[in-house]
A and B are shown apart, each in its own frame.
Chain A
Amino acid sequence: MKAYYSLFKMTLIKGLQYRISALAGVSTQFFFGFMFIMVYQAFYLSNPATQPISLRELILIVWLQQAFLVFIMLWFRDSEIINLITTGNIAYELCRPTDIYNFWFAKLIAQRLSRAILRCFPILLIAALLPFPYKFTLPDHLTTIILFFLTLILGLIIIVSISMLIYISMFYTMSPTGSLLMFSVLGEFFAGLTIPIPLMPDFLRNLTYMLPFRYAADLPFRIYAGNIKHDEAIISIGIQLFWILLLLTVGKLWLKKALNRIVIQGG
């Protein structure tokens, strides 16, 4: 266990070194945040019918999505693991008394966490200073915040378990491009990052509720914004746990199978 924690710590510290990258990330995310808000505002102004989610809630969601972008994006990839697989350096990884799945898992979580820590505070802080409709505010109840953090962390675990599947698929394809593209386009859509889930037609919304993606990128933020009530949130946590269990089991079994057939060429 200590090994996984040490790797976690090392990756975290390493990730915290990249200040310039964080700064660039913060400004990009601000730009995107404003763009999304403008689009939604235009939509709400031109469409007087009541929507299942208010503009105010949507604005909160946009800021949170931007602040925790690295928690929810599937395209975010770890080139070190990709290199391990494609160059055959995984040979060394296999020579260590560790479970490779857990080892990579710890690393991927730490990576996303370190990036999020550097990015979320400046974004949320500045967003909190904006004038009213755009302003980022705290929710009314402490329970909301607790539920938000709980679902956010579980969501991070879901995203990393899905991305593990992308890496494992590389044992067969040797290239991250295909699965990464498939997963990130579909995943992003079904996570409600293209169209907010409350604004989707019924059949699509039902579909997203049956897939794991929204439990990472949609659920925590809508809980925070107050669009999802506490009792629904608690049920959703159960569903999150179910997905985590399923994804971890599938990932571990698949990796085991993949490792049995690998051939490390050269050298």
Chain B
Amino acid sequence: MIEVTHLSKNFKVIKKVKGLRSSLRTFVNPQFSNIKALDDVSFKINEGEIVGYIGPNGAGKSTTIKIMSGILVPDSGSCQIMGVTPWKNRIEHVKNIGVVFGQRTQLWWDVPVIDSFYLLKDIYKITNRDFKHNLDLLTTTLDLSQILTTPVRQLSLGQRMRCEIGASLLHNPKILFLDEPTIGLDAVSKLAVRNFIKTINKEKKVTVILTTHDMNDIEALSNRIILVGKGKILMDGSLTELKNKFSTEKIITIDYTESNEVINITGSKILTRTKERISLSIDLNKIKVSEVINLISQKFEIKDISVENRPIDEIIIDLYKEYQV
């Protein structure tokens, strides 16, 4: 469905230096530096996948999305999406895709949302039947009924974002590019958006490519992640693979009846300790969770236990550290 091979893109940026004198020097004799936004990126995405495209700021996520949606022309490499090169056959290509750039708006600012939808209907030549069906579906799943008649400028960020996602799906796209779709959303809206993405993926077989900094989005949605950094693909695999590789630690929190007994278990590290509670981080390569609980239960009267995986955010930070991005 999507095949990207050896994609590269450089940006030429003027080096700006601090201070008046150096500014004048830059003015007379500008120094350029080349930034490799994408450096030989290749991947393949099949129909019906939800792919999380992650990486730190400035890794080249948005650049990839822009190239795949036909906005940006790469320096070299090829990209075939449903048999079409996006930047060469822009108009033909964009009929098949829906795009949401979280930081921009595609709705017309001072008309009600529904007017924008109707204009999109004509732009994409959507038939009346499809339009009505999609509008009903979007209105109910994204909870839009209250806000459809409000001018876009009066909507809150979350309301607007739900409308943006709706707008990008009116024409039944086969592929949906979401560039930070949950940016600035409250918990309820986030959940609504996530559920919605899941639904259309399942029911309409829409392929979704998603960039985000919110790891919960990735956890809730994607079965595959592609990690980029400094313009290169660092990892391409399933979320579980990633977790297994990097999550060799678990955190155990235990409540017990008051005791000052000393605890010293090899392979574990005490995170916090009070008279009635202890938090331990356990290295699974050295000791099993059950063994730790066993050891503790011999000395304490346990009231409650909870075992947690390391938060995925921390795993990602480790990952960034390991690849030095």
Contacts and interface: CB of A to CB of B under 8 A. Distances in A.
Same complex: yes
Interface string A128-157: 000000000000000000000000000000
Interface in B107-132: 108-111, 115, 118-119, 122-125
A14 B106 contact: no
B201 to A, nearest CB: 20
A98 B123 contact: yes
A92 B101 contact: yes
B71 interface: yes
Interface of B: 11, 62, 66, 69-73, 90-92, 94-95, 97, 99, 101-106, 108-111, 115, 118-119, 122-125, 179-180
Given A98-B91, A99-B91, A264 B72 contact: yes
Given A6-B118, A10-B119, A264-B66, A95 B94 contact: yes
A202 interface: no
B91 A95 contact: no
Given A10-B108, A91-B66, A263-B72, A97 B101 contact: no
Given A88-B104, A89-B104, A92-B104, A97 B66 contact: no
Given A14-B111, A92-B99, A267 B118 contact: no
Contacts of B124: 96-97
A92 B125 contact: no
Nearest to B177: A95
B72 A97 contact: no
A96 B66 CA distance: 13
Interface residues of A, number: 26
A261 B74 CA distance: 10
Interface of A: 2-3, 5-7, 10, 14, 80, 87-89, 91-92, 94-99, 260-264, 266-267
B122 A2 contact: yes
Nearest to A1: B122
Contact of B111 (A3, A10, A264): A10
Contacts, number: 78
Contacts of A99: 91
A250 B66 CA distance: 27
A267 B11 contact: no
A264 to B, nearest CB: 6
Contacts of A3: 119, 122-123, 125
A267 B61 CA distance: 9
19 contacts: A2-B122, A6-B122, A6-B123, A10-B119, A14-B111, A87-B104, A91-B66, A91-B99, A91-B101, A94-B69, A94-B71, A95-B70, A96-B94, A96-B124, A97-B94, A97-B95, A262-B71, A263-B11, A267-B62
B95 to A, nearest CB: 5
Nearest to A80: B109
Contacts of A7: 119, 123
A249 to B, nearest CB: 19
Given A89-B105, A89-B106, A267-B101, 7 more contacts: A3-B119, A3-B122, A6-B118, A7-B119, A92-B99, A262-B72, A267-B102
Contact of A95 (B71, B103, B108, B180): B71
A11 to B, nearest CB: 9
Contacts of A87: 104
Contacts of B71: 91, 94-95, 262, 264
Nearest to A87: B104
